[in-house]
Chain A
Amino acid sequence: MSRLKPAHWFGLALVAIALLALPLVLTQVGTAWVRIANFAILFVFLSLGLNIVVGMAGLLDLGYIAFYAVGAYTWALLASPHFNLHLPFWAILPLGALLAGMAGAILGAPTLRLRGDYLAIVTLGFGEIVRIFMNNLSAPFNITNGPKGITRIDGFGAGGVNFSTTDTLFGIAFTGPAKYYYVLLVLMLLVIVVNLRLQNSRIGRAWVAIREDEIAAKAAGINTRNIKLLAFAMGASFGGIAGGMFAAMQGFVSPESFVLHESIMVLAMVVLGGMGNVWGVIAGALLLSFVPEFLRYTVEPAQQAIFGRLLIEPEVLRMLIFGAALVLTMRFRPAGLWPESRHKREMGERRA
């Protein structure tokens, strides 16, 4: 990395202050917006994880949310009255990441020899299977509590701080969601650093090589099978961590939260932002997290005012936006809003 100039330091400091002050500002607007910001960060996690699989290694994964579910259920089962276990976060989060990573490798193994579209269908099916199991593993032995889900899950806890209540520090009130925001922010910085380092590492370059031309990559001495499995496992483990934080934040998980649409949403974020580019993916995740929320608060009253009733529910509108984002990005800007330079060349050339 090149040395940063003073101007860059100044810019970084401004971004840091803005990120630190954000929940306090948002709390003034409404605590709901702090929650929305938290979910945006979770989606940044998920998008970065999926970016490893789809963006860097070029393997289309449509069941990504299953790994999020694995992480969430790991937390839910190990820190709730359901089994009367209350393990601390430093035990559960890594375990969730590990389990999700293993699930990713197991899923990837049978499809690695095959073309990308088979992989897409298998992962699509896998996402659905995980949901079927979550729904039905309540009998004969109650493991997941079925469609009712698991309630009263322990929140995040560290250093005696309670993350579900409001605390006052230096005269500033920090609400529960605001405190989660800071934890998520720290985790997000970690994840971003890991991703940036990966992007320029031997492994990252191997992933890109496989995406560009698998046979050439193999000829260049890359163990394509192991490297692809690694992409799956690493991508999935990010999903596992995000899932654990989701369970802690919500205090409740049920199979309803892990439907196909969630996988598609994350995919749309990666595609819109620019497959393979960490900053592009982050931008895509933030954009597609906030825009539907803004619309929720504007389109609904607008429809009421114009038509006198609600024609398009915000949820439906959101999915239509995600679908359109996928189609339009691929048609008109296939490398995304903020493309990775290498990917841009590739996508641009072949379109001619």
Chain B
Amino acid sequence: MDILLQQIINGLTTGSVYAIVALGYTMVYGVIQLINFAHGEVVMIGAMVAFSVIMALVGMGLPLPPFVIVLGGVLAAVPVCMAIGYLLERVAYRPLRHAPRLAPLITAIGMSIILQHLALLVWGRDPRAFPQIMENASFAVGGAAISSVQIAIILLSVTMMAGLTWFVYRTRFGIAIRATAEDVRVAGLMGVDANRVIAATFTIGAALGAVAGVMYGTYYGIAHYTMGFILGLKAFSAAVLGGIGNLAGAMLGGILLGLVEALGAGYIGDMTDLCRWPVFGELLAERCAADGHVVLFGSNYQDVFAFLVLILVLVFRPSGLLGERVAERA
């Protein structure tokens, strides 16, 4: 099997999910220059709601095709998440819009803790396994395999990205969003209702997040009340990598981060195998002979890559790959 190609396929899949979540961060940031700290939890709740609905549909035993069942989950998750996104803006951000920057961040952290523990109350502490309803056919692509779920995730993500781009660049409301991102006051003078625009970015981001949550759950076959935290952190790193506030940047950043992570996890074990290193190989000759390899960092360090990317971007190019505004501390 071609490992390189396989990791690229896997990276593209997770990268698409990161990109969709990152869009939620970047849209909100573009408009109010604040991070929506609770976005990861919204994604988690999306996955959880979809999981419940899918389980219920499966439990009813109707002869529905798997696609319809998953669609039912998505259709239930999206409005719930949109409501939560709207609530977040109203409770955590709007009342503090003119407060010092620290204030809305702190309320948002509070909200994310509350959401996470409400999810714990509803769905319990144990990870929930997504039912394997789709027969996950896989197709051979030049020595690697791509599954139907992976194809579905990539296609759906691309569709959503295209849809969002159309919405932001081709509709009246999209123009209002871009105007607000440019300058809230001037947009207000032109008749744009800033409150509506800001609330809309939160809800649109949450809707995308809900779909991302379902994709993530279906791909890994599992949903857990803490999954939003790491996923949110990675998606945020992706948004920063692409240039926060920039839609194309979030998409690019998400895909790149997915690739970095997949390739990193695939090769770090071989690269940090001390038996292949000149001096250490001799020092550890005995262990190498016995075990075959002495791996310093294995694929269990996968979650570290996103963080490394984040730090490197912040040090060397804080504005991200496609961003223009340099994020100096105001």
Interface check A186, CB cutoff 8 A: no
Interface check A187, CB cutoff 8 A: no
- B residues within 8 A CB of A350? 98-100
B315 near A110: Cβ-Cβ < 8 Å: yes
Query: When chains A and B are docked, how far (Å) is the Cα of A114 from the Cα of B319?
Result: 10
Which residues from chain B sit less than 8 Å from chain A, CB to CB? 34-35, 37, 91-92, 95-96, 98-107, 109-114, 116-118, 120-121, 229-230, 233, 236-237, 240, 274, 287, 294-298, 300-301, 303-304, 306-307, 310-311, 314-315, 318, 327-330
B327 near A327: Cβ-Cβ < 8 Å: no
B230 near A128: Cβ-Cβ < 8 Å: yes
Which residues from chain A sit less than 8 Å from chain B, CB to CB? 54, 58, 60, 62, 110-111, 113-118, 120-122, 124-126, 128-129, 132, 135-136, 139-140, 214, 260-261, 264, 267-268, 271, 312, 316, 319-320, 322-327, 329-331, 334, 346-347, 350-352
**Listed residue (A60, A111, A326) with the most chain B CB atoms within 10 angstroms of its CB:** A326
Q: Name 13 extra pairs, CB < 8 A, besides A125-B306, A330-B106.
A: A62-B109, A110-B315, A117-B101, A118-B318, A128-B229, A132-B301, A316-B121, A319-B117, A322-B113, A326-B107, A329-B106, A330-B107, A330-B110
- A residues within 8 A CB of B236? 121
Q: Please list 28 pairs of residues, one from A and one from B, whose beta carbons are closer than 8 Å in the complex, sorted by A's number.
A: A60-B102, A110-B314, A111-B314, A115-B330, A120-B105, A121-B35, A121-B310, A125-B306, A125-B310, A128-B307, A129-B307, A136-B297, A136-B298, A139-B295, A312-B121, A319-B113, A319-B117, A320-B114, A320-B117, A320-B118, A324-B114, A326-B106, A326-B109, A327-B92, A329-B106, A347-B99, A347-B103, A352-B98
- A residues within 8 A CB of B306? 125
**Listed residue (A62, A117, A120) with the most chain B CB atoms within 10 angstroms of its CB:** A117
- B residues within 8 A CB of A352? 98
Query: When chains A and B are docked, how far (Å) is the Cα of A58 from the Cα of B112?
Result: 21
- Tell me whether A324 and B110 are in contact in the complex, defined as CB-CB below 8 angstroms, given that A115-B327, A316-B120 are known contacts: yes
A260 near B121: Cβ-Cβ < 8 Å: no
- 10 closest pairs, A vs B, by CB? A326-B110, A323-B113, A323-B114, A327-B110, A125-B307, A140-B294, A330-B107, A323-B110, A117-B35, A110-B315
Query: When chains A and B are docked, how far (Å) is the Cα of A346 from the Cα of B229?
Result: 32
* Cross-chain contact of A326 among B98, B113, B120 (Cβ < 8 A): B113
> DSSP class of B's interface residues: helix, strand, loop or mixed?
helix
Query: When chains A and B are docked, how far (Å) is the Cα of A347 from the Cα of B102?
Result: 10
Query: When chains A and B are docked, how far (Å) is the Cα of A329 from the Cα of B100?
Result: 14
CB distance from B131 to the nearest CB of A (A): 27
* Cross-chain contact of B91 among A120, A132, A327 (Cβ < 8 A): A327
* Cross-chain contact of A110 among B114, B300, B311, B330 (Cβ < 8 A): B311
B111 near A327: Cβ-Cβ < 8 Å: yes
Query: When chains A and B are docked, how far (Å) is the Cα of A136 from the Cα of B297?
Result: 9
- A residues within 8 A CB of B98? 350-352
CB distance from A138 to the nearest CB of B (A): 10
- A residues within 8 A CB of B111? 323, 327
* Cross-chain contact of A327 among B107, B298, B300, B328 (Cβ < 8 A): B107
